[in-house]
């Protein structure tokens, strides 16, 4: 078949991911490479002190993104997109979405970005003997219970953003195991919520407004490769109000962006990992064995197959860098030298590549929100330097790039230095790497490991969830996900690898000494 015939015959697969600043849809072909994409830009809203996305915007963004995909398919291939072999939904993990038995939303969506659950996260970590980060769904639920919030006794269903969109399209209250691992701890041996921990949670909530069993309100886990529902007539109308795209398409389990990043980088085997860097940044390292201790800086989640993963998650990555680039653009515009945004980014990155390895003593914090890894409940972007620092545009630019990975390095050092976790292959993807130099090289120095960018890295998690959909639609059901990725996707795919440069390694080490010492200043600034 030609690609046009493949699409028009409903053989292609679709992945849609709700990122923090962009909703993206990707259509993949017979060789599992992207054929077309669609996008919708959006932003979270700070409503009454809570970072949120209104569900009306979720639905509108889904429709606009899918319409853009359909438009691009017709433009590039001359056919309408009316069906697919399979599709999948992915989104930012964690957060708090709760509904009553009539399906009405009880409180605005509390996203991963909120740091309002410190009391609950600490209590659950102690009671369960398992690190429960503030952004996890269970931390939000327990904090609402501790706060005795009015809506608690009306909760009938709790899910993630991916689980919610999947429910809109299929009517099924299900979740993939990776996304589930950001709701509540997982028993990887049986791919279920940890039973002893759910029982302990039920004991903790006796006598509160929350009278239900926890397992009764959480979405059901569906394992990777299984059918997790079918696009209903109502769901098809939500996805495509024009009526062109038809119901009946099977959906794979909805997954978190961390897991789709693992699929998109073929990093689901032990001693492999990936770094996803956009509005937030996180690393996912597949473990060979359990960690020796509970670390508040390290989350334990899972691969799409349910295997344990050490995750270092940082709330802030590129937002402050983007703000500086916009400011530099305004300066150039005022000077009569307008420059396209892509060229401006390339310019700033090229200047950063020329900066001193230690940034000349110029230190930047990119904290737009709190950072649990460094113990901050809130943040403010900050740049500081000594009077004798080498304050050049090159060093400032390099410091701004360093700041995107600095907090991640603090968490990764715990894994590699304290826990002696081995790293063999680290793949990177996300907006930070649209211009590989120097971001890829700097990440290699920070991680102390080779960093590989695949040619598909720019497609990110939307491509990853499309791959999981294709895996669910595979003809050979005996094929494992690892085999599918190795044989059907990445076998002949090229990538570029950057190794740590000793000068950069020493430079970022010196930078981090000042960075950690200056956290007191960041903490004071955030408190103002």
**Residues ≥6 apart with Cβ < 8 Å to 372:** 115, 133, 134, 135, 296, 297, 313, 315
In the Cβ-directed half-sphere of 325, how many Cα atoms lie within 13 Å?
23
Residue 502: how many other CB atoms lie within 10 Å: 10
pLDDT for residue 276: 85
pTM of the model: 0.83
Query: Counting Cβ atoms within 10 Å, is residue 38 exposed (0-12), middle (13-18) or buried (19+)?
Result: buried
pLDDT of residue 278: 87
Burial pattern 447-458, b for ≥16 Cβ within 10 A else e, equals bbbebbbbebbe
Best CA proximity match to 265, nearest among 286, 248, 245: 286
Domain borders along the chain are: 3-256, 265-455+494-528
Do 369 and 407 touch, CB atoms closer than 8 A?
Answer: no
Which residue blocks in 45-136 are alpha helix, DSSP H?
55-77, 118-128
Task: Report the distance separating Cα 385 and Cα 398, nearest Å.
Answer: 14
Both structure tokens of 466 = 């499309």
Burial class (CB in 10 A: 0-12, 13-18, 19+), 347: middle
The whole-angstrom separation of Cα 367 and Cα 376 is 9
3-256 CATH: 3.30.420.40
Q: What's the length of the chain?
A: 528
- What number does CATH give the domain 265-455+494-528? 3.30.420.40
- Residue 292's Cβ-count burial label (10 Å; 0-12, 13-18, 19+) is exposed
Q: Could you tell me the CA-to-CA distances from 490 to 7, 72, 340, 487 in Å, in that order?
A: 22, 25, 34, 7
Smallest CA-to-CA distance from 384 within 367, 372, 368, 399 is with: 399
Written as tens digits, the pLDDT of the chain (528 aa) is 899 999 999 999 999 999 999 999 999 999 999 999 999 999 999 999 999 999 999 999 999 999 999 999 999 999 999 999 999 999 999 999 999 999 999 999 999 989 899 999 999 999 999 999 999 999 999 999 999 999 999 999 999 999 999 999 999 999 999 999 999 999 999 999 999 999 999 999 999 999 999 999 999 999 999 999 999 999 999 999 999 999 999 999 999 998 998 998 888 988 889 898 888 898 999 998 889 999 989 999 999 999 999 999 899 999 999 999 999 999 999 999 989 999 999 999 999 999 999 999 999 999 998 898 999 989 999 999 999 999 999 999 999 999 999 999 999 999 999 999 988 889 988 788 888 889 999 999 999 999 998 766 556 789 999 999 999 999 999 999 999 999 999 887 778 899 999 999 999 999 999 999 999 999 999 999
Structure tokens belonging to residue 108: 């605005």
Q: Do domains 3-256 and 265-455+494-528 have the same CATH topology?
A: yes
Cα gap 50→115, rounded to integer Å: 9
CB 280 within 8 A of CB 316: yes
What dihedral angle (degrees, nearest 10) is formed by the CA atoms of 290, 294, 299, 305? 20
Output the pLDDT for position 228. 98
């Amino acid at each position: 078949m030609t690609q046009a015939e493949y699409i028009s015959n409903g053989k292609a697969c679709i992945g849609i991911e709700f990122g923090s600043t962009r909703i993206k849809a990707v259509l993949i072909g017979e060789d599992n490479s992207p054929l077309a994409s669609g996008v919708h830009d959006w932003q979270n809203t700070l409503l009454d002190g809570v970072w949120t996305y209104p569900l009306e915007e979720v639905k509108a963004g889904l429709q606009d993104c899918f319409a853009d995909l359909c438009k691009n398919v017709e433009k590039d291939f001359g056919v309408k997109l009316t069906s697919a072999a399979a599709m999948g939904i992915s989104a930012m993990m964690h957060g708090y979405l709760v509904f009553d038995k009539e399906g009405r939303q009880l409180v605005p969506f509390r996203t991963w970005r909120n740091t309002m659950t410190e009391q609950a996260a600490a209590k659950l970590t102690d009671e369960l003997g398992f690190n429960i980060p503030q952004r996890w769904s269970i931390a939000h639920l327990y904090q609402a219970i501790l706060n005795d919030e009015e809506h608690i006794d009306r909760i009938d269903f709790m899910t993630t953003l991916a689980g919610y969109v999947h429910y809109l399209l299929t009517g099924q209250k299900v979740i993939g195991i990776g996304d589930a691992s950001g709701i509540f701890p997982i028993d990887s041996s049986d791919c279920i919520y940890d039973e002893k921990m759910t029982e302990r949670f039920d004991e903790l909530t006796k006598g509160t407004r929350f009278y239900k069993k926890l397992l009764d309100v959480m979405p059901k886990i569906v394992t990777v490769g299984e059918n997790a529902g079918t696009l209903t007539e109502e769901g098809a109308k939500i996805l495509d109000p024009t009526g062109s795209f038809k119901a009946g398409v099977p959906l794979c389990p909805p997954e978190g962006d961390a897991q789709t990043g693992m699929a998109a980088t073929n990093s689901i085997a032990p001693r492999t990992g990936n770094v996803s860097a956009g509005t937030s940044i996180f690393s996912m390292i597949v473990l060979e064995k359990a960690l020796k201790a509970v670390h508040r800086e390290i989350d334990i989640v899972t691969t799409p197959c349910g295997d344990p993963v050490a995750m270092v998650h940082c709330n802030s990555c590129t937002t402050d860098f983007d703000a500086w680039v916009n400011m530099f653009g305004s300066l150039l515009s005022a000077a009569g030298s307008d420059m396209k945004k892509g060229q401006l980014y390339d310019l700033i990155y090229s200047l950063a590549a020329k900066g001193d390895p230690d940034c000349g003593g110029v230190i930047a914090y990119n904290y737009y929100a709190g950072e649990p890894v460094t113990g901050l409940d809130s943040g403010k972007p900050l740049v500081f330097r000594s009077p004798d620092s080498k304050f050049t545009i090159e060093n400032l630019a390099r410091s701004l790039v360093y700041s995107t990975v600095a907090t991640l390095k603090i968490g990764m050092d715990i894994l590699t230095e304290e826990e002696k976790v081995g790293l063999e292959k680290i793949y990177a993807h996300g907006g930070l790497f649209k211009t590989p130099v120097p971001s890829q090289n700097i990440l290699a120095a920070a991680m102390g490991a080779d960093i590989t960018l695949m040619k598909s890295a720019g497609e990110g998690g939307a491509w990853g969830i499309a791959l999981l959909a294709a895996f669910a639609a595979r003809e050979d059901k005996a094929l494992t996900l690892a085999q599918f990725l190795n044989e059907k996707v990445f076998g002949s795919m090229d990538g570029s690898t950057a190794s740590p440069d000793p000068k950069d390694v020493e430079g970022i080490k010196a930078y981090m000494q000042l960075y950690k010492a200056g956290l007191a200043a960041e903490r004071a600034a955030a408190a103002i």
